[in-house]
Structure 1
């Protein structure tokens, strides 16, 4: 009975893993979309090879961004930067936005920039006397900072360029400018709301 329980727990842990879910999804897609429609294995192999090239840049850039953010967090560099900015008197709202923007520009991933910036300002926010609405605005400022300045080290930049058929220069002129305007416009609205409620 105990062996059966351990086997069930091990199987449940395996099924819950993201890698297993992706493998199962690919196998089902190969069967449902390929084999059932009469595709040969050579044709399916060629299709999978062709689909890896555009996805590889997105996967590698996102992975490298995650590693870089982990290094910044583990070495304490991010906390040092946060403390230095707070010592200069930078308001918490602007600090949250700038930290997220710096992480976004440095490593590319908006998700990693959001998590890193939130982790760095967390102790300051919890120690401060902020209302729940002010905390929500700080979180939104982090979101705006992690949206701005999307460029070549951002997987979103490459996805947008590939789907719209843009060159790198065209992507920088359109996508990067658009995301920068979006981030700063959001920050201006959040700042106005902050002044109204404070």
Structure 2
């Protein structure tokens, strides 16, 4: 019972019901405006997430990892390969979640080739994937638009501030992960 109540869909529905029960005095116009405003803000974000998810699923089904192993000498890249794959995917399609999941499916068969087959190596690989998924958030990232819409910042300012900061965040993260790998591997 508690697990069911804790599911995000159920918890959100309970919250919506409580809002309407607590505000019985709302007019039909007020409710319509609330739904319209919420849909307007969420629709573009959901479309971007859906498009990114579809792109990621196509890449995952293409077995790109096997192609890399066959045609490219990646063993010298080690920890930087998962980072680069996640960074390219994040920048191309926008979603950090889709980038990490897709990059993981590409990199998993290559862990031995990359020298990351140990438990510590796999942990470092996951960290590198996470660092890559933070790279270059821009107009195709749903979270970019969440920040832009709710802060009221124009796109030009978002690109100057937020996109550059995510680039720096990813580079600094992989730098620290690499230093960590030198210590613990």
- TM tier relative to shorter chain: 0.7 to 0.9
C-alpha deviations, 1:69-105, integer Å up to 9, x for none? 11111233x3256426752444231000000001101
CA distance, structure 2, for counterparts of residue 132 and residue 197 of structure 1? 11
Per the TM alignment, residue 147 of structure 1 is displaced from its structure 2 partner at its CA by 0.5
C-alpha deviations, 1:14-39, integer Å up to 9, x for none? x79x796377346514523432xx11
Which range moves more in the overlay, 142-151 or 53-62?
53-62
Kept after mapping to 1: 8 A contact 2:116/2:125: no
CA distance, structure 1, for counterparts of residue 116 and residue 29 of structure 2? 64
| 1:99 aligned onto 2:85 | yes
C-alpha deviations, 1:4-55, integer Å up to 9, x for none? xxxxxxxx9xx79x796377346514523432xx112221111111121111
- Say what the alpha-carbon RMSD is for the aligned residues: 2.5
Task: Map 1:14-29; keep pairs closer than 5 Å.
Answer: 21=10, 24-25=13-14, 27-29=16-18
Normalized against structure 2, the TM-score is what? 0.85
Normalized against structure 1, the TM-score is what? 0.80
- 1:32 paired residue number: 21
Larger RCO: 1 or 2 (CA < 8 Å, sep 6+): 2
Kept after mapping to 2: 8 A contact 1:108/1:155: yes
The number of aligned residues is 181
Larger radius of gyration, structure 1 or 2?
Answer: 1
Q: In 2 relative to 1, CA 111–148 (structure 1 residues): closer, same or farther, beyond 3 Å?
A: same
Q: Quick check: which one's helix share is greater?
A: 1
CA distance, structure 1, for counterparts of residue 35 and residue 117 of structure 2? 51
Kept after mapping to 2: 8 A contact 1:97/1:187: yes
C-alpha deviations, 1:99-145, integer Å up to 9, x for none? 00011011110000000111111122267563322221111010000
Structure 2: 5+ residue runs without aligned partners? none
Alignment partner for residue 155 of structure 1, among 124, 142, 166?
A: 142
User: What SS class does the counterpart of residue 92 from structure 2 fall into?
Assistant: helix
| 1:69 aligned onto 2:69 | no
Alignment partner for residue 59 of structure 1, among 28, 33, 46?
A: 46
CA distance, structure 2, for counterparts of residue 86 and residue 97 of structure 1? 16
- 1:117 paired residue number: 103
Q: In 2 relative to 1, CA 113–84 (structure 1 residues): closer, same or farther, beyond 3 Å?
A: farther
